[in-house]
Amino acid sequence: MFALYFCAPFREQLLEHYANNKADAEENLLTCLADLFSQISSQKKKTGVIAPKRFVQRLKKQNELFRSYMHQDAHEFLNYLLNELVEILEKETQATKADNETSSSPEKIANVLKAPLANGVHKEPIVTWVHKIFQGILTNETRCLRCETVTARDETFLDLSLDIEQNSSITSCLKNFSSTETLHAEDKFFCDKCCSLQEAQKRMKIKKPPHILVIHLKRFKYMEQLGRYKKLSYRVVFPLELKLSNTVDEYVDIEYSLFAVVVHVGSGPNHGHYVSLVKSHNHWLFFDDESVEIIEESAVQTFFGSSQEYSSNTDHGYILLYESLGTR
Ligand SMILES: [Zn+2]
């Protein structure tokens, strides 16, 4: 949550939205989060703690998952929170739209009602400010190996979950993410042109990079032999400045700057705790529950992970937040 607070576009949009809609808003997760953020931002004292009590209560009320004190995965939490906010914003937009439509001419209403039936087109998806900040588009390209036809299918994402390897880097994880996979044997692809199942090559590229890129490192892996999840403490280097190269437009490098890291502390998935590193006004801050301290930028690398399996350092970068610096 500290990471989201320090995500300036998110904080500003949330507070602005809240200020504009405060009057007629029922209490929901969005209003509780906005309340909490405005309390933090209006805090004059340098020290002091604001307990996110109302927000946590709301969260528990809404979701079974967060009611218990069992393992709470920060990635699941972020996902849940963003999707929940999107849903609230979509409902609000729909409600405003419906209000406007009933006040417009009867002719218009008739058109609105007829339009979707006439050509069977789905209604335009609503783009909320959460989408504008976090949403990117991936394109899944499949090339039929018989006729060479490329079929592209787009999908949106709010974060990227990457498989990790020992002694690797975000760049190599992204490369693997976009590596070519051959579909053959049982996995063949139905080619519309050949009208049959064919061998094909598939790869995933980023078509539209998001403004804020959220990268989730898959540190919790289900081990079949163990019958449970295990934490991978692998060392994965994450740069302060990231160049995104697995984009559809290969000749354009999109540059990103790291501004927050959610760190998982602990050796296993079931016990552990989260701390955050956040960049604010050119200083890196280390948040551990109620304590905040300034750390050197060079200290960020102590959270890359361990190059050996058994290490006393159990603080590992888990979720990374990068802000786009645009194209170079
Ligand atoms: Zn084909």
Q: What is the CATH number of the domain that holds 241?
A: 3.90.70.10
Q: Are residues 228 and 316 in the same domain?
A: yes
Distance 160 CA to ligand 1 centre (A): 30
Work out how many domains the chain is built from and give that number: 2
Name the least confident of 54-58, 240-244, 253-257. 54-58
In terms of pLDDT, which residue wins out, 100 or 188?
Answer: 188
Distance 197 CA to ligand 1 centre (A): 8
Distance 45 CA to ligand 1 centre (A): 66
Q: How many whole angstroms separate alpha carbon 29 and alpha carbon 27?
A: 7
Distance 208 CA to ligand 1 centre (A): 27
Q: Give the pLDDT of residue 303.
A: 95
Q: Give the pLDDT of residue 23.
A: 73
Q: Are residues 229 and 308 in the same domain?
A: yes
Distance 94 CA to ligand 1 centre (A): 42
Distance 203 CA to ligand 1 centre (A): 16
Distance 179 CA to ligand 1 centre (A): 21
Q: How many whole angstroms separate alpha carbon 91 and alpha carbon 87?
A: 6
Which residue type, as a one-letter code, is found at position 232?
L
- The DSSP result for 98-158, as a single string, is HHHHHHS-HHHHHHHHHHHHHH-PPPPPP--HHHHHH-EEEEEEEEETTT--EEEEEEEES
Q: Are residues 171 and 94 in the same domain?
A: no
Confidence band for 319, pLDDT divided at 50, 70 and 90: very high
Q: Are residues 244 and 323 in the same domain?
A: yes
The arithmetic mean of pLDDT across residues 282-286, rounded, is 93
Q: Are residues 319 and 172 in the same domain?
A: yes
Q: Are residues 21 and 119 in the same domain?
A: yes
Distance 250 CA to ligand 1 centre (A): 25
Distance 242 CA to ligand 1 centre (A): 37
Residue 139 lies in a domain: no
112 pLDDT more than 50: no
Q: How many whole angstroms separate alpha carbon 169 and alpha carbon 115?
A: 50
Q: Are residues 302 and 168 in the same domain?
A: yes
Residue 196 lies in a domain: no
Confidence band for 98, pLDDT divided at 50, 70 and 90: confident
Residue 293 lies in a domain: yes
Distance 252 CA to ligand 1 centre (A): 30
Q: Give the pLDDT of residue 106.
A: 52
Distance 178 CA to ligand 1 centre (A): 22
Distance 196 CA to ligand 1 centre (A): 8
229 pLDDT more than 70: yes
Average pLDDT over all residues of the chain: 85
Distance 54 CA to ligand 1 centre (A): 56
Q: Are residues 166 and 80 in the same domain?
A: no
Q: Which residues of 74-107 are buried (b: 16+ CB within 10 A; e: fewer)?
A: bbebbbbbbebbbebbbebeeeeeeeeeeeeeee
Residue 188 lies in a domain: no
Distance 140 CA to ligand 1 centre (A): 16
Q: Are residues 273 and 322 in the same domain?
A: yes
Q: Give the pLDDT of residue 109.
A: 45
Q: Are residues 166 and 311 in the same domain?
A: yes
Distance 146 CA to ligand 1 centre (A): 5
Q: Are residues 127 and 218 in the same domain?
A: no
Confidence band for 111, pLDDT divided at 50, 70 and 90: very low
Distance 316 CA to ligand 1 centre (A): 45
Distance 141 CA to ligand 1 centre (A): 13
Residue 193 lies in a domain: no
Taking the CA atoms of 12, 322, 213 and 266 in sequence, report the sign of the dihedral they define: negative
Distance 139 CA to ligand 1 centre (A): 19
Q: What is the DSSP letter of 204?
A: E
Q: Give the pLDDT of residue 58.
A: 81
Residue 233 lies in a domain: yes
The residue to which tokens 């002694």 are assigned? 167
Q: Are residues 1 and 110 in the same domain?
A: yes
Residue 151 lies in a domain: no
Q: Give the pLDDT of residue 172.
A: 95
Q: Give the pLDDT of residue 68.
A: 53
Residue 4 lies in a domain: yes
Name the least confident of 17-26, 43-52, 193-202, 216-225. 43-52
Distance 191 CA to ligand 1 centre (A): 5
Distance 202 CA to ligand 1 centre (A): 13
Q: What is the DSSP letter of 227?
A: T
- Structural domain for 297, as ranges: 162-179+210-328
Q: How many whole angstroms separate alpha carbon 136 and alpha carbon 138?
A: 7
